[in-house]
Amino acid sequence: MRNIALQLMYVGTAYHGWQVQKNAVSVAETLERSLQQVVGHPVKCTGAGRTDAGVHAQSYVANFRTSSRIPCARLPLAVNTRLPDDIVVVQAVEVPEEFNAIGSCLKKEYTYRIYNSRIRNAFYVNRAWFYPKHLDEKLMARAAAHFVGTHDFKAVQSVGTQVRSTVRTVHYFEVARSGDLIECRVCANGFLYNMVRAMVGTCVYAAEGKFSPDAVPEI
């Protein structure tokens, strides 16, 4: 059996996240169904991690095993003709047997965008959080800096997923503004359920003056 890694990009608006679910359409289920048609046997994909409903991916890695001898160079085109327009296989690479998309993942980057203007922008619907009250991105960045490092992030996770440990390492948390768009880029060795959303929300609270940016360590 060959072990194939896929690089994907997808718009998650129509999906309830990556992982297969009983009563909801997911990215993994949609991809597996298309792959099956190409390789001619049932397929199980392992993704680099769970994603929440509505989350998009610019670069997401998954792997699957197959007895098919279709060359990797041909797989993306073959699969993409069977996928909806909002999921794209960018490339396929044969990887060692021991490769596992989630177990081999060292770092993940998540970008949360805020459209910060009194008037919403139609082109950012489902792409950014529309927030009409002006935010001071410098205060947000000051709060964000306190999240960097190895900490127990239990306070910024949502209930719903059982994990062995709530300790994670955040490599960087950058906040930058370009016009009305604020981008919050977080890189970590892994994320808890809704962790980034809660971290960004905490920075927004600090920018609103609800507490000092330097209160984050206590949280």
**52 noted as active-site residue:** yes
User: Which one of 52, 85, 136, 214 is the catalytic residue?
Assistant: 52
* CA dist 205 → 3, 67, 80, 154 (Å): 45, 52, 42, 18
With contact defined as beta carbons under 8 Å apart, do 16 and 26 qualify?
Answer: yes
Residue (of 190, 219, 191) closest to 203 by Cα position: 219
DSSP states along 117-172:
SSS--GGGTTTSEE--S---HHHHHHHHHTT-EEEE-GGG--TT---S--EEEEEE
**Both tokens of residue 108?**
């993940």
**Backbone phi, psi, residue 28, to 5°:** -60, -45
Q: Which residues are catalytic?
A: 52
